[in-house]
Homo-oligomer: A and B are copies of this chain.
Amino acid sequence: MNHTDKISVGIVGASGYGGVQLVKLLLEHPGVEINYLGGDSSAGKQYTSLYPHLTNRVDLNIEAIDLDVIADRCQIVFLGLPNGLACQMTPTLIEKGCQVLDLSADYRFSDLETYTAWYKTERQDQAIAVKAVYGLPELYRDKIKQSQLIGCPGCYPTASLLALSPLLKQGLIAPETAIIDAKSGTSGGGRQGKINLLLAEADSSLGAYGVANHRHTPEIEQICSELARQEVRVQFTPHLIPMPRGILATVYATLRDPGLVREDLITIFSAFYRSSPFVNILPSGVYPQTKWACGTNICYIGIEVDPRTSRVIVMSAIDNLIKGQAGQAVQCLNLMMGWEETTGLPQLGFYP
């Protein structure tokens, strides 16, 4: 790549946390140039009025969302909008020749009935939707390379699926025993003024939410079912943790072969992710801390087996806004463009 070859990218919905991660990552990415930041409620504002830490670094305004303008100016479009909006814009953008990476739930489901059942939105864009690829590179690397439309995974599904995939793909667990107890920092709730996300309320506290009915459940189940080649139902329980970023998924499942030991599984996981530069399988007895992953696109995975109960416990830690959102989208972009998968993506966090 050289500077004259930089690809022109735009971000629709740049004012949220996903948007500002994309801005940071794309500013430092050698292959792209940001030429459009869009948003409705904040149209007309300087981007630095929303994010003053970018003062003297970003000189872009938020513009109104106009698909003609976007398509005219950008080859790549990231959509970071509330669920139900991307599916209205994407057909036009695709038609005009853009490549689209959608960070909402709109293009994550191969079965739009599932989408409609859980998201209460009727869909008119079946023709486009069937072409979307689920943007989890560790599972769908080759398809992503060929795709024009990526449905980027949710943050919880990313952590959950990276923990479960080798187990399900290799048939090592009884799928119906899978329980995902997930814990997320509060930035997952978005940049909106909700009472329960206030520091005064959320700090020094902890609780579950969306028990037995969180929307990430069908997304996880879709991919699990594909991997297991049978319909899989998982138990998924998210919790809000008093920290800004990071997700830990603690995944429980019963082993089909109770003779498997921890080291066997570490070997299997390591082999499964051999070509995945952003999955770091930890050695025996080391369990991941979310802080290790924060500020990086890495998923850390620790594995334990309990011979008393014949269960495997897999713990996976990611930065919910990077590997769980914007970083993964850039990872997909790298694949789509034929660039090194790691281009422009942080692999080493600051600690502590």
Question: Are A292 and B187 in contact, with the CB atoms below 8 A?
Answer: no
Please indicate the chain B residues that have their CB under 8 angstroms from the CB of A51 in the complex.
Answer: 351
Cα distance, A306 to B176, chains bound together (Å): 13
In-complex Cβ contact of A206 among B186, B199, B289, B306 (8 A): B289
Q: Which of A170-222 contact B (CB under 8 A)?
A: 176, 179, 181, 183, 185-187, 189, 191-195, 197-209, 211-212
Question: Are B203 and A193 in contact, with the CB atoms below 8 A?
Answer: no
How many A residues, CB 8 Å from partner?
Answer: 86
Cα distance, A349 to B28, chains bound together (Å): 11
Let me know if A245 is at the binding interface, CB within 8 A: yes
Let me know if A21 is at the binding interface, CB within 8 A: yes
Let me know if A299 is at the binding interface, CB within 8 A: no
Given contacts A202-B199, A239-B250, A351-B53, contact A212 B304 (CB under 8 A): yes
Q: Which residue of B lies closest to A182 (CB)?
A: B181
Let me know if A237 is at the binding interface, CB within 8 A: yes
Question: Are A56 and B280 in contact, with the CB atoms below 8 A?
Answer: yes
Interface string of A315-338 (1 = CB under 8 A from B): 101000110000000000000000
Given contacts A197-B198, A245-B352, A352-B245, contact A204 B207 (CB under 8 A): no
In the complex, the count of this chain's copies comes to: 4
Please indicate the chain B residues that have their CB under 8 angstroms from the CB of A186 in the complex.
Answer: 198-200
Let me know if A348 is at the binding interface, CB within 8 A: yes
Given contacts A55-B286, A200-B186, contact A243 B352 (CB under 8 A): no
Let me know if A145 is at the binding interface, CB within 8 A: no
Cα distance, A25 to B53, chains bound together (Å): 21
Given contacts A235-B252, A306-B212, contact A55 B207 (CB under 8 A): no
* Minimal beta-carbon separation of A275 from chain B (angstroms): 14
Let me know if A108 is at the binding interface, CB within 8 A: no
Cα distance, A288 to B51, chains bound together (Å): 11
New A-B pairs, 16, CB < 8 Å, besides A53-B292, A211-B306: A53-B300, A187-B352, A193-B197, A193-B198, A199-B243, A203-B242, A205-B294, A206-B317, A207-B248, A207-B287, A208-B302, A212-B309, A233-B309, A237-B313, A252-B252, A294-B350
Question: Are A313 and B212 in contact, with the CB atoms below 8 A?
Answer: yes
Question: Are A243 and B207 in contact, with the CB atoms below 8 A?
Answer: no
Let me know if A154 is at the binding interface, CB within 8 A: no
In-complex Cβ contact of A199 among B28, B199, B212 (8 A): B199
Question: Are B53 and A206 in contact, with the CB atoms below 8 A?
Answer: no
Given contacts A197-B200, A286-B52, A350-B21, contact A237 B208 (CB under 8 A): no
Q: Which residue of B lies closest to A209 (CB)?
A: B287
Q: Which of A227-241 contact B (CB under 8 A)?
A: 233, 235, 237, 239, 241
